Chains A and B, each alone.
Chain A
Amino acid sequence: MNTFAKLLTGVAIGVAVSVTSFSAVAETPANMLVIAHRIDDVTTIDPAESFEFAGSDISRNIYSRLVSLDPNDLAAGYKPDLAESWEVSEDGKTITFTMREGVTFHSGNPVTAEDAAFSLQRAVILNKTPAFILTQFGFTAENATETIRADGNKLMITTDKRYATSFVLNCLTATIGAIVDKQTVMANEVDGDMGNEWLKTNSAGSGPYKLDGWKPNESVTMSSNPDYYGGAPAMERVIVRHVLESASQRLLLERGDVDIARNLNPEDIAGASKADGVKIEDELKGRLMYLALNQKHPELSKPEVRQAFKYLIDYEGMRDSFLKGQYTIHQNFLPATYLGASEENPFSYNIEKAKELLAAAGVENLEVEIGVREAQERIEIGQSFQNAAAQAGIKVNITVGTAKQILARYRARELDVYLGAWGPDYPDPQTNAGTFAYNPDNSDAAQATGLLAWRNSWDTGGLTEKVEAAVVENDRDARVQMYQDIQAEFRETSPFVIMFQQIEQSAVRDNVMDWSTGQAVTSAAYWQVTK
């Protein structure tokens, strides 16, 4: 037995000695940015198809667009990027872009107006999920080559009617507006797919970074583009590591093995904020948390009942407890930081007021079903609402289900009440106005499942026309006022109880400067970051 005891001791000492001989890295290199992030939502990096958050982050740093947003000055709106300037025709339907000279793709091919035309035509013809951002201007697979065309170093796009120029250009800052290298993409075309299969996992851009590799659920690596027309980025290499667990992200950050941790839960944010060399940066994001009342329900369609529900939300209580640091109170369909956003939040938690409104509507013993997707924060919001509603005499039955179960019923207009989240698709107010307050055909046959107003069977009254007017208004100030007016009316009349706007909290090493997740309007940018 002594031999075994010696053997065990030997193994233990061997392991201890071998383990203690390693020391962890204390700090990432000065020219390298390492980010811990959940990137398991990346399904494709083809900009004509990509529509997820982490995928948009990749695209934003690899591809340039005709116009884009400056991460250091997002409030300024779109600025020239690959298009040096643009002119709008007298009828307001054609925008002519003049391309920047001397810019090259990562392949070395020059960026031309032909590439720009191809990129936009390709997105329209492929007609993937985000294609509506372009096709809403009347572009179709059939007319794409006539409505989007190149001539020398000019690119002309002609919309089906006059739109606010800011609306069109804002849409071109979205991921789908990325300009791809036609020659490289078409060299990889298979069965007429315009390079879609290839671009799902490869890149052909001209942006500040080149994609070195994407390993799904593992990492994304990029290296700086030394020939970037805006100047080579300070961070020569960017590594985004997929780290699912919040506590693991925090440990990596505090040990100095990553520069930024993007998915810390409130407990880990609180802990990391006390760590040496770590700072917490908050940015408002576009996601809104809301309740929607189906207007097919005879009681929920009464104006007083709609108003009553807006007083049955414990806004402050939730914000200061389980949503602490993650959401702020926001009661308008345009997220703060958007053009035309309103900061008016008139509703507060007031059971008595809700009771009065219900009594005025003649509603008693109301019982409704609320559909909630299986996400902890949503379930907790549902439970808080359930408690408040019970005090006002409303029985709320919570149905928790998967996306398939709940969304399918929501899209089929079957739920009494839906509790969910909505994020904007592109950085223009039309993105949310066009779904919350716009519903030209409220019939079941319209099947406008993409419109939230339709999903809730809400005839928006005059708001649909007001949204249509705002989207063609070219005077910026007038347009802002129009959206503020629409939101004021929406707050009072709509069956939507908008409650919260998301905050993204990044825990960042304190030597990292100018970090931007893109706020509500766009995605994360790496090229302006310094250490």
Chain B
Amino acid sequence: MALTEDGGKGRARVSLPPWIKTTALTLGSIAVTMLGLLFVTFIIGRVMPIDPVLAIVGERASQSTYDAVFLELGLDKPLVVQFGYYIWDVLHLDFGTSLLNARPVSEDIARVFPATLELATLGIFIGIVIGVPLGVVAAARKGSWIDQVARVLALVGYSMPIFWLGLMGLLVFYGILGWVGGPGRVGIFYVDVVPSVTGLILVDAALDGNWDVFKDAFSHIILPASLLGYFSLAYISRMTRSFMLEQLSAEYITTARVKGMSEWDVIWKHAFKNIRVQLITVIALSYANLLEGSVLTEIIFSWPGIGSYITTALLSADMNAVLGGTVVVGLIFILLNIFSDLLYKIFDPRAK
């Protein structure tokens, strides 16, 4: 640590190393973002026309029961005070108790988030593994049949309602062909068979060495993950194609070709290398969207994920659950942003 003298006034100033400043700035930015997110969500929750008291006591409750719960929830206090209490609890890692199922919100989120994480990760994996090569090939063979196929796939992916496609997929691959498992994370024979270590059933089954459960869980996840993967693929392949076309028309590519470099090297060692940073942004955004939870996919496939959890909570005025879920989703976006920034610095020296 370097000390500098402020000789005239006799006061010392501490010059912090850059990494500490960066970290402090990042943490400060996270804190302000989270506070703003919580505040907006909290206010929306309070002004929306759903009565949290009625949601708990029901239509039949007497006025005295209603009033008792109203006071119990602290709804008689000013909004700012209510928000202050909430922030205080969050700082103590207490998201409160779900108004509707009486469980700690943190427990609920620990249960539903791994389901979404597992689905989203497999979905984005499919999206990347197929979408990126498809986009590159489509750009390299612009106007060819594979380019046309990629464009049609992307167009269908953009325009097809996920609800309809999900139901059709379920009807064909589960209902008619019986190739995959039905709605839910596992079949009835395998419910709670392997101990929950990570909450990710595929991982837990592998850790337990129970390959029957693994196969069953895989047969249940493959269809919704493919569905989500397809929608990610449509976006990723289209963006990859667009980025690649821009690079392939650049002068340095012409130079590389003139120098006799192979087409493989031109595309992968030059053009693709230069779109990695842009692709990271696209993939990170796609992944973040999937991690928010795809409500419709979760409904069709009875997938107990965070999307349907937050939606149900919102419609039921369970604001503790909504705020808890919002914190998690907000954190996901922030962490993915930070991760993207780190990758930028690795792939692009100019970003350092």
Interface of A with B (CB < 8 Å)? 1, 3-5, 7-8, 11, 15, 18-25, 28, 32, 34, 40, 42-44, 51-52, 127-129, 131-132, 197, 200-201, 212-213, 215-219, 221, 239, 241-245, 247-248, 251-252, 254-255, 257, 401-405, 407-408, 425, 447, 449-450
User: Which residues of A have CB within 8 Å of B264?
Assistant: 3
How distant is the Cα of A321 from the Cα of B107 in the complex, in angstroms?
Answer: 45
User: Which residues of A have CB within 8 Å of B101?
Assistant: 42-44, 200-201, 216
How distant is the Cα of A526 from the Cα of B141 in the complex, in angstroms?
Answer: 63
Contact (A11, B191) CB under 8 Å given A217-B308, A252-B183, A254-B175: no
Is the Cβ of B136 less than 8 Å from the Cβ of A248? no
User: Which residues of B have CB within 8 Å of A5?
Assistant: 137
User: Which residues of B have CB within 8 Å of A15?
Assistant: 222, 226
Is the Cβ of B108 less than 8 Å from the Cβ of A216? yes
Chain A residue with the shortest CB-CB distance to B59: A407
User: Which of B62, B98, B175, B178 lies in contact with A23, CB distance below 8 A?
Assistant: B178
User: Which residues of B have CB within 8 Å of A1?
Assistant: 137, 140-141, 263
In the complex, the 3 A-B pairs of residues with the closest C-beta atoms, listed nearest first: A404-B51, A200-B102, A22-B219
Q: List 9 additional contacts besides A127-B65, A217-B304; criterion CB under 8 Å.
A: A4-B133, A4-B137, A11-B129, A15-B222, A129-B60, A241-B302, A251-B170, A251-B174, A252-B182
Contact (A201, B102) CB under 8 Å given A22-B181, A447-B63: yes
Q: Which of A24, A200, A219 has the most CB of B within 10 A?
A: A24
How distant is the Cα of A243 from the Cα of B299 in the complex, in angstroms?
Answer: 8
How distant is the Cα of A59 from the Cα of B92 in the complex, in angstroms?
Answer: 35
User: Which residues of A have CB within 8 Å of B183?
Assistant: 241, 243, 245, 248, 251-252
Cβ < 8 Å to A, chain B residues 129-150: 129-130, 133-134, 136-137, 140-141
Chain B residue with the shortest CB-CB distance to A257: B182
- Shortest CB-to-CB span from A405 to chain B, Å, is 5
Chain B residue with the shortest CB-CB distance to A405: B49
Is the Cβ of A251 less than 8 Å from the Cβ of B175? yes
User: Which of B58, B187, B308 lies in contact with A129, CB distance below 8 A?
Assistant: B58
Interface of B with A (CB < 8 Å)? 49-51, 54, 56-63, 65, 68, 98, 100-103, 108, 111, 129-130, 133-134, 136-137, 140-141, 167, 170-171, 173-175, 178-184, 187-189, 191-192, 215-216, 218-219, 222, 226, 263-264, 299-302, 304, 308-309, 312
Is the Cβ of A404 less than 8 Å from the Cβ of B178? no
Chain B residue with the shortest CB-CB distance to A403: B54
A-B pairs with beta carbons under 8 Å apart, 25 shown: A19-B180, A24-B178, A24-B180, A24-B219, A25-B189, A52-B58, A129-B58, A132-B62, A213-B192, A221-B191, A241-B183, A241-B302, A243-B183, A243-B184, A247-B167, A247-B170, A248-B301, A251-B182, A255-B182, A257-B187, A401-B49, A404-B50, A405-B49, A449-B62, A450-B60
Q: Which of B62, B188, B226, B312 has the most CB of A within 10 A?
A: B188
User: Which residues of A have CB within 8 Å of B111?
Assistant: 215, 218
User: Which residues of B have CB within 8 Å of A32?
Assistant: 188
- Shortest CB-to-CB span from A142 to chain B, Å, is 15
Chain B residue with the shortest CB-CB distance to A28: B188
How distant is the Cα of A22 from the Cα of B22 in the complex, in angstroms?
Answer: 51
User: Which residues of B have CB within 8 Å of A401?
Assistant: 49
Chain A residue with the shortest CB-CB distance to B56: A43
Chain A residue with the shortest CB-CB distance to B98: A216
How distant is the Cα of A15 from the Cα of B173 in the complex, in angstroms?
Answer: 13
How distant is the Cα of A408 from the Cα of B111 in the complex, in angstroms?
Answer: 35
